A and B are shown apart, each in its own frame.
Chain A
Amino acid sequence: MQTEIVIAGFGGQGALFAGQILAFAAIDSGLDVTWMPSYGPEMRGGTANCTVVIADEEIGSPLVRHAKAAVVLNLPSLEKYEPLLAKDGVLIVNASLVNRSVTRSDVDGLLIPAQEIAETIGNRRLTNMVMLGALVQKLPVLPLKAIEDALNNHLPERHRRMLPSNLEALRQGAAYARGELKVEGVGLGALEPTETVAPTSV
């Protein structure tokens, strides 16, 4: 059994870190995992993505053409990964930075105003954790508790004070995916999509 997740956005939105937390959660749950970043002559504000493969046996390819889930943090990533997603896949879209809906009807899409949710918690850099919380609510790969434990166990020491807000971001993302959290006064592309944010989420 194998699940592949692509997490993609602008450099600085925390796509790579969100993937690492997912990878840590998989290891701590006794699963095998690969975390493969896009790497290239890139700079802040350029694209950044990673592919996380989680399996209960030795993993072959660390990359797949059609992932089972995609977490897209910006419009270019939505344009790139929506067509590639496997049928019946899970697509989590940061509605704060896109100006359209999910067009495919054969995938389980969720538009979530992740950046607004992050800002109500107190820091837009929590956007990636909101998205990750929504992902694990929609995709039965790992329980939310495993992600929370991974954050608790692997958050770098210098960022420990950010732990409660990161956990809150995960929980609110999951709550939104369950339909239990309403965010007032936001719609598609409510924020300017051109602005980039700081290098990591925490």
Chain B
Amino acid sequence: MTRELLEGNYAMAEAAVRAGVEAYFGYPITPQTEILEWMSHRMPEVGRAFLQAESEVAAINMLYGAACTGARVMSSSSSPGVSLMMEGLSYIAGTELPVVLIDVVRGGPGLGNIAPSQGDYNQIVHGGGHGDYFPIVLAPASVQEAIDLTVLAFDLAEKYRSLAFVMADGSVGQMMEPAELPEMRPVRKERPDWAVTGAVGRERRILSSIYLNVELEEKTNFRLLERWYEVEKNEIRYREYYLDDAEFVIVGFGTAGRIALSAVRAARAEGIKVGLLRPVTVSPFPAAQVAELAQKAQAMLVVEMNTGQMLNDVLRIVKGACPIEFYGRMGGVVPYPDEILNEIHRITREPVSPDGDPRLRWMQRFTPGRGQ
């Protein structure tokens, strides 16, 4: 296989085709419509199902039904569309079905705009749908990673009968980079032993998220939780950059993480010992790695394209082991590397408060148009 120049959205769509997706249901929304567009011609071409639903609510419920048959299925949307899908996603989680959903996150809340953002972290990582469930969330920072993680999402979803999200952003979706697509996998013919396939010559199976018997619902909740601990044990993924001798550590995922890499390189060129941890799975979160880095670091800087949603997780994990600062841009604004380099200069030259609220400090020193 050779590296081609691929746009993130098309690349994720074709990666799903090659991973053997059997049915796609979706509804157009920028900045991910190219996924739906690609699927609209590619799926019929390979004899599989493509359906543009009348809304995201319809699409997610079609996906729910299709997933019950044990087929590899997926949808994709962007922030406001994913909000509309939340009820269905909770039902899918409660029914313990493997489903892949790509969220190409855009500026919000509300209708917001179509620019890159990471504002859906809390909604995707910490739920959004009702009830107790734990989704797998993969956060690509490049087109190649978007391809690889889309394929991985199907495998993890099926291994753990779980929701698996690919949480990209408008930048990953719209950018073109050299990348290599995987070989075409054959479509899986066998169906799992829980799938509803017609019950010919066997006991019928019932798939539902209704447990009117509360003990059975509690048992289901325990099953989901046990499965989640297995995911946490086996599936944490992250990328490390310049961490071996780092005295200062940046934590950032997705696009914010790769922008931070540019700032880290610039700081290294000045002799500053700074490194970067880029979580690839944001759920399960690389908590042990962050905790270990905090033991050695003089200070940690969390960089996000939101108000510090992952920051809350980092604070909970670090438990005051090292001082933490935060830098974010929001609402579709993408930071430039020099903004993060300025923050690196600040935390390396001035003492960082070991307590207090890093988000509040950031808000107080950040005034767009002044000091930037």
Contact = CB atoms under 8 A, between A and B. Distances in A.
B174 interface: yes
A66 B264 CA distance: 17
B225 interface: no
Contact of A27 (B178, B262, B263, B264): B178
Given A35-B175, A36-B171, A37-B174, A24 B5 contact: yes
A41 B259 CA distance: 25
A140 interface: no
A138 B261 CA distance: 29
A34 B175 contact: yes
A59 B31 CA distance: 22
Contacts of B247: none
Contacts, number: 66
Contacts of A62: 171, 175, 258
Nearest to B259: A61
Contacts of A88: none
A63 B178 contact: no
Nearest to B335: A61
A39 B338 contact: no
Given A20-B5, A39-B114, A58-B261, A34 B177 contact: yes
A63 to B, nearest CB: 6
Given A20-B5, A27-B3, A41-B114, A60 B258 contact: yes
A39 B260 contact: no
Contacts of A39: 30-31, 114, 170, 174
A146 B245 CA distance: 39
B246 interface: no
B126 interface: no
Interface in B150-184: 170-171, 174-178
A89 B114 CA distance: 31
B71 interface: no
Contacts of A154: 5
Contacts of B170: 39
Contacts of A58: 261
A64 interface: yes
B222 interface: no
Interface string A36-70: 11011100000000000000001111111110000
Interface residues of A, number: 23
Contacts of A95: none
Contacts of B178: 27, 32-33
Contacts of B261: 58, 60-61
A61 B258 contact: yes
A35 B334 contact: no
B48 interface: no
B337 interface: yes
B336 A64 contact: yes
26 contacts: A23-B176, A24-B5, A27-B3, A27-B5, A32-B178, A33-B177, A34-B175, A34-B176, A34-B177, A36-B171, A36-B174, A36-B175, A37-B174, A39-B170, A58-B261, A60-B259, A60-B261, A60-B264, A61-B259, A61-B262, A61-B336, A61-B337, A64-B336, A64-B337, A65-B338, A154-B5
Interface of B: 3, 5, 30-31, 114-115, 170-171, 174-178, 258-265, 334, 336-338
Given A40-B114, A61-B336, A63-B336, 10 more contacts: A23-B176, A35-B177, A40-B115, A58-B261, A60-B258, A60-B259, A60-B265, A63-B334, A64-B336, A64-B337
